[in-house]
Structure 1
């Protein structure tokens, strides 16, 4: 009798290992990628599958909506190095229990055996997953980076349906799912051996784990609870904002009753036009100014150039009579660079590099002219 019990126990342990391995590979199977897939492969797979199962392309299809959520959950885990390590080691339960699943290292190993002998405790569903972040670009001229700007803009995003408040139901009524009796989960019991059973819990395929079903679908969202439409935003570009700055609007990405909305990230970029001939390097400005050979050798000139400042929009450059400017000379004008973001009357410097246009002739003649040597 004792040996028979040991034999059954060995079978049980083997089955646990197989079942546990299957759980580990589940997210990879969902995205149809291998366990050693890199982030590029995972991102590519997610984009293809999320487009295929997106609720907008499958209105009223609860199976597709559930598949869309599962794909998003798998993507979030596998793209996060820490979560992926926990998942590879402990499976989904490890993520829910902070890396210490009930049947894995750090948990109670007797919980697994209790499940097999019919005494397993039923775990509740996890909380709402976090949705993906949304991203967009917004371009400004260097002049706008210098002075600051306020911009109103619209983006097309997924919004919770305002007609049914995200329920998907025309009359606002949700009815308990008959398949899972309103629990959102289904338990299957498999006999491993005489007197030995394993219980598996899975999301109800008929209600997508919601526990409720819609019998009278909303006309606006076709029962999905969401629709795509424009959302308005305002951005304040502070003077001196760095290029490649990211403005974050928390919780303003695609919305859904199925998840907590991610963040909207606006990437601030500098337009190539509208810089008035200036170049920016951190808080300093650079400009190339062209002089004739006569101006470079004799001096005695004044030149007004446009500037980025809305209030002082010109700068005066000048040289005294007889003051020589060599090709490549750099003039530093302190306090005429970019404003320091969040600074009070603090600015970088402006660097003017002079380029002398020389006449034709031999190289030796040009060099002598530039150095004011006797011919």
Structure 2
């Protein structure tokens, strides 16, 4: 780069709007207002103008005269610039992302999340980076607003307060973790480490089946249902005691929840075993007076109301996930509920499904099979199909109507409808009906006699039809 006064000017590369000015002891970074940096795929920020100065006394002259030192200083300055630029910027507003008000009830938030997550789910939008990003934002927003504690922190202290809350309250955890990503250092990340350490374990996933009608899947219906689950006792907040002062440290195990038992097997030979404390049941605490609501069990049973939004064309056995709607307990967050959709077995008649196609059996009378017919079939969503044939229909004949099958799951278009015809013959033919049929079929019998008269008997004694 060119020299300007006592400073060396260096460009950030072709097309770059950031230039660096440096001398031996002081480093400057000046960014034009149009420079844009995309961070974490969540937001962008315009770099206005920053000046980062490295004090003279921090770098000896021997080091500052080394070009490699300047190079590393520039990288460090850029990282620090990005950190300063993004520290107070918030792009994730869970209320706006889910399209709900700040006063919205949890049920409304849940409904909005499910609707939008289905729209932007990666399975429905393959190779769509925007949809993938939207889905991540929706998941993050739901995680915040579905947790009472996190939502309160966000409402009162904003994104920055939420960040500190997740990191355990540290102000520098984010910064050190940021630099460790660039330089591979192991000294930072304290906040993140604490967050992982303090994170609750998740409860077990509940899996249950629900039978639905075929028309529910064809239409894509919403079905309300209820499940029973265990939640923390609201009276004692999951500690099992009538009041906080009723909880004391177990004297038997000293609050460890386990006891060490030592056996002597022989002279100088000992066996040491660790066993759960019988006095406190492994909790490390004893309760003087139990909570009257849960009787010390710390959890109570609750009936949870949920809504299943069926995707059109969902396959039999398709699973819908309800995050955080399962059992909750002390020391672990609510588990998930997986609802497996099963199609009710159809009685004789009606539509049957095979993957994306539908099958229907239509029964014809003898006269319809011979003379033709026009029939109407009411489809699963109520619209009528007209089926017409003016020729002879053989029993077992199958007609295919394209595009009248099941909706394709998470794709465009429909499968086909297969209509199989069967013919009902009269159980008995007598009287005038028999006489009429006899007259009707007499010309055909005459034709048969004529064909039989054209047969010859060769030497082998067998009849052969003359063609």
Bucket of the pairwise TM-score, normalised by the shorter protein: 0.5 to 0.7
Residue of structure 2 in register with 1:185 after alignment: 258
CA contact (8 A) 2:346 2:352 kept: no
Residue of structure 2 in register with 1:44 after alignment: none
Following the alignment from structure 1 to structure 2, what is the Cα–Cα distance between the partners of residues 348 and 356? 26
Query: Is the counterpart of residue 359 in structure 1 residue 432 in structure 2?
Result: no
Q: Following superposition of structure 1 onto structure 2, how do residues 232-243 of structure 1 map, counting pairs within 5 Å? A: 232-243=305-316
Q: Following superposition of structure 1 onto structure 2, how do residues 20-169 of structure 1 map, counting pairs within 5 Å? A: 132-169=204-241
Residue of structure 2 in register with 1:246 after alignment: 319
Residue of structure 2 in register with 1:316 after alignment: 386
CA apart distance, 1:201: 1.2
Following the alignment from structure 1 to structure 2, what is the Cα–Cα distance between the partners of residues 254 and 245? 22
Residue of structure 1 in register with 2:414 after alignment: 347
Q: Following superposition of structure 1 onto structure 2, how do residues 215-234 of structure 1 map, counting pairs within 5 Å? A: 215-234=288-307
Q: Following superposition of structure 1 onto structure 2, how do residues 282-297 of structure 1 map, counting pairs within 5 Å? A: 282-297=355-370
CA apart distance, 1:247: 2.4
Instruction: Give 3-state SS (helix, strand or coil) of 1:269's partner.
Output: strand
Following the alignment from structure 1 to structure 2, what is the Cα–Cα distance between the partners of residues 183 and 214? 15
Query: Is the counterpart of residue 334 in structure 1 residue 402 in structure 2?
Result: yes
Following the alignment from structure 2 to structure 1, what is the Cα–Cα distance between the partners of residues 225 and 238? 25
Instruction: Give 3-state SS (helix, strand or coil) of 1:291's partner.
Output: strand
Instruction: Give 3-state SS (helix, strand or coil) of 1:230's partner.
Output: strand
CA apart distance, 1:131: 5.2
CA apart distance, 1:252: 3.4
Pair 1:334–1:153, CA change in 2 (3 A):
same
CA contact (8 A) 1:186 1:202 kept: yes
Looking at CA atoms only, which structure, 1 or 2, has the larger radius of gyration?
2
Residues 61-93 of structure 1: per-residue CA shift (max 9 Å, x gap): xxxxxxxxxxxxxxxxxxxxxxxxxxxxxxxxx
Query: Is the counterpart of residue 266 in structure 1 residue 334 in structure 2?
Result: no
Residues 24-71 of structure 1: per-residue CA shift (max 9 Å, x gap): xxxxxxxxxxxxxxxxxxxxxxxxxxxxxxxxxxxxxxxxxxxxxxxx
Q: Which stretch of the first structure deviates more once superposed, 269-278 or 240-249?
A: 269-278
Following the alignment from structure 1 to structure 2, what is the Cα–Cα distance between the partners of residues 277 and 203? 60
CA contact (8 A) 1:142 1:275 kept: no
Query: Is the counterpart of residue 374 in structure 1 residue 444 in structure 2?
Result: yes
Following the alignment from structure 1 to structure 2, what is the Cα–Cα distance between the partners of residues 339 and 172? 57
Instruction: Give 3-state SS (helix, strand or coil) of 2:370's partner.
Output: helix
Following the alignment from structure 2 to structure 1, what is the Cα–Cα distance between the partners of residues 424 and 347? 25
CA apart distance, 1:297: 1.4
Instruction: Give 3-state SS (helix, strand or coil) of 1:374's partner.
Output: helix
Instruction: Give 3-state SS (helix, strand or coil) of 1:339's partner.
Output: coil
CA apart distance, 1:188: 1.4
Pair 1:130–1:200, CA change in 2 (3 A):
farther
Partner of residue 271 from structure 2, selected from 198, 206, 211: 198
Structure 2 unmatched ranges of 5 or more:
1-198, 435-440, 446-467
Instruction: Give 3-state SS (helix, strand or coil) of 1:353's partner.
Output: strand
> When the two structures are aligned, how many residues end up with a matched partner?
237
Pair 1:220–1:275, CA change in 2 (3 A):
farther
CA apart distance, 1:265: 2.7
CA apart distance, 1:251: 4.6
Following the alignment from structure 2 to structure 1, what is the Cα–Cα distance between the partners of residues 361 and 272? 76
CA apart distance, 1:333: 0.4
CA apart distance, 1:172: 3.1
Residue of structure 2 in register with 1:211 after alignment: 284
Structure 1 unmatched ranges of 5 or more:
1-126, 366-370
CA contact (8 A) 1:276 1:308 kept: no
Pair 1:351–1:278, CA change in 2 (3 A):
same
Pair 1:138–1:281, CA change in 2 (3 A):
same
Residue of structure 1 in register with 2:249 after alignment: 176
